[in-house]
Structure 1
Amino acid sequence: MYPFGNSSLLTVDLGQQYIDFFSYFRATLLHHPTSFFYSFSQAIGGDMLGEWAYYLMSPFNLIFLLFPGKSIVAGVMVVTLLKYALSGLTFGLLLKKTTRMNSFYIPLFATAYALMGWTIANQLNLLWLDAVILLPLVILGFEKLQNNSKSWAYTWWLALLLVANYYMGYMVCLFMILYFLYTTSRVSITFKQFLKKAWTFTYKSLISVAISAVILFPTLFSLLSSKGQYTEESIKAKFEYNPLAMLSKFVIGSFNFDQMPSGFPNIFVGSLVLIGFILYFMNNRFSIRERVVAFLITSFLVLSMCFEPLDLLWHGMQFPVWYPYRFSFVFCFWIILLAAQQFEYFNPVKYWKIGIISILFIGMFTYLFLSGTTYNYLSNETLFLSILFILLMLILIQFQDHSSPSFKWLLCMGVIAEMSCNAVYSLDNISYLSTSEYDVSTSALATESKSLKKIDNSFYRVAQTYSRTKNDAMSADFFSGSHFSSAFSKSIPTFYGKIGQPDGDNYVTYSNGTLLTDALLNMKYVFTPKQMKSSKALTTQLETLTPLTEKPDTSYYNTVSSDSLTETVKNPYALSIGYVANDTVISKKNKATNPLRYQSDWLTSLTGADNSTLFSPINFNTVNFDNVGSQANLTDSMLTKTKLSKPGIVNFTYTPTTNDAYYLTLGAGLSTDNVLFKLNGHELKQYKTYRNTVVVNIASNDKGKKITLTAKLKKRTLFLENFTLYRMDVRSFETQINHLQANELNVKKYNQHSITGSVNVKKTHQAIFTTIPYSKGWHVKIDGKSVSTTKSMDTFLAFSVAPGKHTVKLVYWPPYMGIGFLISILAVLIVLIGPIINTIKRLIK
């Protein structure tokens, strides 16, 4: 592991998303504190409080301040190990405070908890692990509350969890309702006493929510424009899979990459816990009422992990995108806690109980062996290893002298060995980034970003033709057009899909910009790989910098800096963050479905000029079909192989008659899963995943040069969805952009949530159109007077302006943060007022 080797823990979202957020966390606290509220590194700009609440409010993230640059990879390892350690510590503390268990045995169950299957499978989701650490403390605080209604420990711990990660905190809140029912079943109380305890529990829980309101209120507003818009509207009362499949997850190493996007709950807890959990329900030391309630809670949790309506309830009425059954850590906690209570006193187990347990395990493994290859993460090796550990635990529990040191150490080593085996087998099933894979591209972007800041300190955005992740801008500290986040506003992916950029529910990639979108969206610079003359240098470049797209239209731009691998080019057409336009843009609703039609209509709404010929469809000069049935009209036609056993290839050729830019539209069905495109002999560079029609630049300044596009069918048929070649009239484009540049907002001062500039408006019926995504959090003043804002094109912030020279100031403040702050202060005072009064009384006496 780095710094002792070249390995890292970076994999999947930890390597493609979270690591960039951690770099952004450092930059915010050390350099740009205003980006806590808003950031233009989030695609074309967005509220950040929702992202902080989901990704970055863990107090453990402060450790990353000690790890600059690529050493942050080592920081990830330190934080991961620390979270494993503290998970065991807090669970051990819970057992120590709430049971009479021999102190030697506490680490056995603490280890089972810290290294349970959920933690191992979600090691890469560092932001969720705080819940595993804090859950035992929440439970411990609740147990104190049951004994002393004046205790506030439960309230403080739950509030901390809600602040650290509201998403996992929500799941713990649901579990606490079940745990409250369980604790009331352990003692005989009247209905009146039950109501009193329920009120205390509810009141103290609501105070926790109120304490965290400063984060929760603005986060709720953010969710309403992001994840909240994906809430399931129809719920089907069905089982998502055969519940018996959960048995496979009790086997060592029952995890692999396929289990991440869609799989079964990760509930491995080790054989000692499973045995103890079963014995709990056969132990007369616990009342019938308590065991019945425990059984009902267990049944509810099991049902939640396979029955769709309950699954949705635990996930806030939304199906998770990857990592299903995220709440299963509470199930693991539950069965480990019950098992620990069973072994509070290690006494020999009666033979009939061992017999029942043996029959249950024989049935489980018989089912798994008969399932064959149904569960591809299981192997004969891991199945036999699991059986071996179960036999070992049964023998130790039944036949050893429980007071002897040898028994204790054998039991301890058995638990550690089993949990370690599961960790090794599970984590070896997924691949990880090496430190160099992370560092090379990240360093290249950071170098370009720093060089650019020395050249230009104005407000600008940067496009990319290569990337490491969609969050490069957060890692390398620049304003870009791409982003990947679970708390992403829905309007931005919708807009990107309309202009021909790759988009998804939680990401956008600005990889397919045209000359027009680059100009209108303030993409003043482009980070692009340097043209390599030698094949060796080109190979090195391709291995280290992931290409995003073809972009020959950068030939219209000017190189401003370069290094051994990359160069930065300047876009002379780029507009400011805001510019004067016809006030009809305020109410503009662009309904075009073709991305290039949408772009030209966008320009029309700004200038009032007729842009019907800005992008003109043209025919290829020749089209040759090889083992594919010929088609007279290409767009939206169906290509079919003549002979299935042979490759189906279509060659399209075109020789540009002008030096204009030429763009090709590709429908969603023309992804790399269905067709391989080659441009002039090399594979067409194009971001692989997209769900709407994208725009690809295939020629610019190439008058008289033959362009050859080859399509190789990967399946029997291929639907040429929205497959059309367009020529852009660059001269007309330049004329209209120059008009907008003459009336743009001159930015004088800016930070991440405030922009001040001047503008000279020469006509009446004008508005300032900005490429800042609309939000109620933006407040605008013209010459010191507040003006109302509106949403233009269903996406952007715009506002009317009168003729004359004006000073314009835009400031962002997260909606509902003010009222959330007041509620939090009030809640803290409510909690502290009792101790304060008692202190005053003591001082008076």
Structure 2
Amino acid sequence: MAYMCCLFSVLYFFFELFCAGEKKKYVVSIVQYGVTMLLAVMGSMVLFLPTAMNLLQGKGIESTTDYTPGFHIGIKTLIKGLLPGVWMQKSFGTESQGIMLFCGTFVLFCVVAYFLSKRNLKEKVLSAVLMIFLVVSATFIPLENVWNGFRKANSYYCRFSFIIVFFIIYLTAAYLEKGAKFIHKKWFKSVVCVWISVELLFNGYSIVKSFAPVEGHKYSEYDEQQQERFNSLEGSDDDFYRTEQASVAGEDKGANYLGVFNEGLQFGYHSFATYTSTINSALTELYHKCGYHDYYKFMQYNEPLLLTDSLWGIKYIISDHDIEGCKKDIDAGVINDKSVYLNPYALNLGYRVQDADIENIEAENAFEYQNMLLSTLLGENIQCFKKVDSQKTVLEDGDEFQIKVPEQEHILYGYIDHVIKNAAQTVIFINGKARTTYSRVTSYKTFQIDDPEQSDIATVTLKGNIPNKDELEGVFYYLDMREFRAAIEKLKTEMFQIEDYTEGSVTGTYTATEDNEKLMLTIPYDKGWRIECNGKTVTADADRTFTVLTMNKGENKITMKYISPGFREGAIISLLAILLFVIWQRAEKKRMMKFCGEVHI
């Protein structure tokens, strides 16, 4: 938003400059504006620089922006956006969204009156040019990408519409300031006050009714119960642990394709699932390779993968359905239709690994990747996931896969390749029961397959509008629990012992049995971490997804503190900008005093 305001500031400056028409002052005005803007941007570096550096971990390095000429909407949709009580929603991942510019019928009448008034023709022409440019920027895709920081916005594309609304209101104010003598009459003020109040109530009610997913009191109840849930977990477990939720709130729990994103921030529990512009692209890539999801724009968690969940330290899973391999906590009860499931295999925040180069693993599919991932960490060949045979049958309305259930202790998993991710309503059925919508952009990838009660054949059916059902391929593996337990026990032999952890700070010990041991902390690597081992500064491997440290033999006291990258540098630049601004203003004041003195003489 700050970038958009700066961009508009340039346009508005030249608009005012050309309206004033004082050509002799053009150069001086441009220089003064340029210096002021430079100092203003420098003054904001304490916030801007850390934000920019964090954006460079994910969305800031996006290179897939499409600049092909085209328009988001037509004239009819644009006009519709100027009407009251209109909420134009779009389907996620599509371009079919209008732009809402309504800011009051009184304002719109005044804008029309502004252009019909006897104001300076040059000013009205410049106003029209700027307004047309702003509206075209909102609808013409290449220009809209520029406003969004040279990247494509995948939802709510016209994010700078507030600037257009601001300029509309500015034109209204300009008209009322000079062109409306009746504005000061009491009757007019009363009429306008009532008019705007009624309009606000109507428009607010219409928008909230159309947009709000749940009623206010229902959400308040949900919020209170969720807070109770996580406070209870925190009170019963003093260790560091991660928690994820495998089911969303709301009535349509079967369409669990969005997941729970930022509730970890809201309720104070540790979670990888987040929806933020400062995503960690290395972490989302790892989650993709493991088979959690195919979407790269955020961290999504919908169904557990016991092996990698355990490696990442996900100890608690909140779900409205049973979680294979985890123990249901009966004492925790059911809140918001969800129970607590304990993962007994979850590892600590850090543990010894033989090799941490998990970024360069190439595998045939997500399950083979997890096998190779675990093999890399342990330094030996591990085959926890084993392939099971399946038979595909093409149905009239989809595809069905029949999977032979293995005899040994297991958890069965699978996913379907080549599904077109669009807005079509395509649903996965496990043994005849609907599990989730599978064809959305945000639909998750790997699902657990429950064992059928009276058969050794499990069925996975994909039904819906599937234009390429002949091309679909099912990938099905089972997790061999005996192999899995043995591997986890090996990793548990040498773990990082946490002594204290707060927001941005971790303290603990790790006892190494030999020199140059690798300790992998499942804290995503970030330049902001300042790490000390036995009082000496150490550096984590910058090429790794997680924080990997090399330990010496014996006890290692580790202290980690986080300062956002760029904060210190930004603070210095901001202080320098403030100092330069003060010096400049004092010099300007002296110059003006000298000038006034000469004029007086």
Question: TM-score normalised by the shorter chain: which range applies?
Answer: 0.7 to 0.9
Pairing of 1:361-440 with structure 2 (within 5 A)? 405-406=186-187, 409-410=190-191, 412-418=193-199, 420-440=201-221
> Cα 1:422–1:405, aligned 2, differ >3 Å: closer, same or farther?
same
1:616 is aligned, of 373, 379, 386, to: 386
The structure 1 residue matched to 2:89, chosen from 234, 251, 257, is 257
SS of corresponding position for 2:15: helix
**Residue 804 (structure 1) aligns with:** 554
1:432-489 deviations in whole A, cap 9, x for unaligned? 4124532454444333322222232111112333344322222221112311223322
Which aligned pairs between 1:286-685 and structure 2 lie closer than 5 A?
286=120, 288-345=121-178, 405-406=186-187, 409-410=190-191, 412-418=193-199, 420-468=201-249, 469-502=260-293, 504-529=295-320, 551-554=323-326, 557=327, 559=329, 561-565=331-335, 566-582=338-354, 584-586=355-357, 589-611=360-382, 613-620=383-390, 634=392, 639-641=394-396, 650=400, 652=402, 654-667=404-417, 669=419, 673=424, 675-684=426-435
Q: Which of 134, 152, 176 is the aligned partner of 2:9?
A: 176
- In structure 1, the residue matched to 2:513 is 762
1:813 maps to: 563
- How far is 1:605 from its partner? 0.6
**Contact preservation (8 Å) 2:176, 2:183:** no
Paired residue for 2:598?
none
Query: Using the alignment, how far apart are the partners of 1:179 and 1:719 within structure 2?
Result: 56
State the alpha-carbon separation in 2 of the partners of residues 783 and 616 from structure 1.
43
CA–CA distance in 2 between the matches of 1:449 and 1:275? 52
Tell me which of 55, 62, 82 is aligned to 1:230: 62
AA in 1 matched with 2:8: F
Task: Call closer, same or farther: CA 1:790–1:403 in 2, change over 3 Å.
Answer: closer
- Matches of 1:491 and 1:597, distance apart in 2: 19
Amino acid at match of 2:568: G
| Cα distance in 2 between the residues matched to 1:444 and 1:668 | 39
SS across alignment from 1:504: coil
Counterparts in 2 of 1:425 and 1:807: CA distance versus 1, 3 Å: closer
Relative distance call for 1:285 and 1:463 in structure 2 (3 A) is closer
Task: Give the residue type in structure 1 aligned to 2:307.
Answer: L
State the shift of 1:614 in Å.
1.9
Q: CA deviation at 1:239?
A: 3.6
* CA shift digits 1:357-383 (9 cap, x unpaired): xxxxxxxxxxxxxxxxxxxxxxxxxxx
Q: Shift of residue 669 of structure 1?
A: 1.3
Q: 1:338 and 1:490 mapped to 2: Cα distance?
A: 43
**What's the offset of the Cα at 1:606?**
0.8
Number of aligned residue pairs: give it. 573
Normalised to the residue count of structure 2, the TM-score between the two structures is 0.85
Deviations 1:542-594 (A, max 9, x none): xxxxx6xx62222xx47374224454343332211111111x32475112251
Query: Could you state the TM-score of these two structures normalised by the residue count of structure 1?
Result: 0.62
The answer to whether the 8 Å contact 1:677/1:709 transfers is: no
How many percent identity over aligned positions?
23
CA contact 1:441–1:467 (8 Å) conserved in 2 = no
Q: 1:580 to 1:309 in 2, by over 3 A?
A: same
Deviation at 1:610, TM superposition (A): 0.9
1:748 matched to 2:495? The reply is no
Unpaired runs of 5+ in structure 1?
1-167, 349-400, 530-546, 621-632, 642-646, 840-845
Root-mean-square deviation (CA, aligned residues, Å) is 3.4
Q: Cα 1:824–1:222, aligned 2, differ >3 Å: closer, same or farther?
A: same
Q: Which structure has the highest helix share of the two? A: 1
Cα shift at 1:504: 3.0
How far apart, in 1, do the equivalents of 2:299 and 2:212 lie? 25
Q: CA deviation at 1:300?
A: 1.7
Unpaired runs of at least 5, structure 2 = 250-259, 591-601
Q: SS of the residue aligned with 1:518?
A: helix
Cα gap change, 1:749 to 1:345, in 2 (>3 Å)? closer
Matching residue of 1:734:
485
User: Matched residues in 2 for 1:448 and 1:687: separation?
Assistant: 29
Aligned 8 A contact 2:371 2:385 in 1: yes
Are the counterparts in 2 of residues 280 and 339 from structure 1 also a CA contact under 8 Å? yes
Out of 19, 26, 34, the residue aligned to residue 202 of structure 1 is 34
| Distance change in 2, residues 1:784/1:571 (3 Å) | same
Task: Label 1:579 to 1:649 Cα distance change in 2 as closer, same or farther (>3 A).
Answer: closer
- Judging changes above 3 Å, is the alpha-carbon distance between structure 1 residues 706 and 173 closer, same or farther for their aligned structure 2 residues? same
Which residue is equivalent to 1:137?
none
Code of the aligned partner of 1:491: A
User: Which deviates the most, 672-681 or 762-771?
Assistant: 672-681
Structure 1 Cα separation of the partners of residues 430 and 328 of structure 2: 24
